[in-house]
Amino acid sequence: MHGQLGAPNIDGGNTKFGSGDGLPLGVGEGGIGLGPKRTAGEGENRIERRVPRNAPGLWNLGARDVRVLMHDGRISVSNSYGNGFNTPAEEWLPEGLNSLLSVQALFPLTSETEMRGEPEENEVAGAVNQRLDYGWPIIAKRVRTIPAYGEKFVAAFDHIQHPQDVTIVDIANAIGAFVALEFRSFDSPYDQALAGRAPLSDQQQRGQEIFFGKGNCASCHSGPLFTDQSFHAMGVPPIGPGRTRKFDLVARDVG
């Protein structure tokens, strides 16, 4: 996916680049091509801005212990706004989202550089420019009025009797379920070694010794998910401006 789980890359990038796009910064709305071959276009049609973050991988993000998403942690499990999540939508996040992945799936739709475009270009961008959540009902209507999609939602969800019942929450829950189910990895050499099915190679064992030993990698990359889900100063300069909340419009990387 480009940017923050936006449009999928289907040209082999999923296997070669860990489900990312192989680019330092994603190329979103208005770009040409897929995966590492995607470009910002040429001439008058060239897009002016890249997605301000590198595309993260999707593997195992559906794990129940995952509590924070995005490079800057702007989507997390929290009751700060009374709806179970801390997100850029704050108190305007719709009710009924059943996972952190479902919540995350909403935000590429509202990102100017990822999917929505400029305010003067389409009605979704214009609505989001007024308030973040105003664009989601418009997108939901676009999806449910496509006959094939409307029928599939009726078949998949017990509470949906007619296509016109489909909401943005149903769409986000479907995307979240897809990512959680299809992007699971549990048969790596390390997984197999832990299960006693196959030993690590000599090179892999040396890497394991460094990881848990003098490299001290496990001090942060700890637990079954190899992350403490916290943020650490690594002393490495950022690439790109990063993302900010609406109340802090200065272009800086705070992730």
| Residue 3: HSE in the Cβ half-sphere, 13 Å Cα cutoff | 26
Mean pLDDT of 8-26: 68
Going by C-alpha positions, the residue among 72, 71, 73, 89 that lies closest to residue 81 is 89
Residue 168 has pLDDT above 70, yes or no: yes
First to last CA, the chain: 20
pTM for the full predicted model:
0.85
Q: Of 2-6, 112-116, 186-190, 218-222, which gets the smallest average pLDDT? A: 2-6
Residue 83 has pLDDT above 80, yes or no: yes
Burial label for 112, CB within 10 Å (0-12, 13-18, 19+), is: middle
Mean pLDDT of 78-88: 94
Out of 28-32, 67-71, 122-126, 200-204, the most confident range is 200-204
DSSP type of residue 32? B
